[in-house]
Amino acid sequence: MSSPFKLDPARVDDMGYRSEQLTTGRARSTLAIYITLTLPLNCINLSLNYIILNPIVLMSLNEVWEAASATPFIPLIAKDSQFSVGFNLLLLALVTGTLFGLNRSFLGIVSLGFPAALASGFGAVFMICAAGVYV
């Protein structure tokens, strides 16, 4: 695999970043990671340097919008099951919150309090996504 551009190690700063000017006038930031493999062969050290390039291109909002149209968003939880997931999370939050209220200790905070708070927050968000907000 060959790179479309060459990276001069002398021009890379201490963090491994380098900026170069493209023909379009935008700045491209390139991250170069140097992996050195040292092999001892008959008391001779051979160093092999590999360069991994990860270009980050700055785009305008219109270009990002057009590029995103090719890949539609697919949610982790389907729209049809958001109500049941939200309802079950709120029910779990009610049960664990009640158990935490009956036995408040430091161990109860970790084992019941935090899970109750997380289930309540995520359950509320899923219920809002499923049913909507009608004011």
For range 24-31, the mean pLDDT? 43
Place of tokens 């050290």: 45
pLDDT digits (tens, 9 = 90+) for 51-74: 444 456 677 888 888 888 888 888
**How many Cβ atoms from other residues are within 10 Å of residue 122's Cβ?**
16
Residues with Cβ within 8 Å of residue 108, at least 6 apart in sequence: 99, 100
Asked whether residue 32 carries a pLDDT value surpassing 50, the answer given is no
Question: Is the separation of the CB atoms in 3 and 11 below 8 Å?
Answer: no
Q: Band of the pLDDT at 101, cuts 50, 70, 90?
A: very high
Return the pLDDT at 114.
95
- According to DSSP, the residues that pair with 57 across neighbouring strands are 28
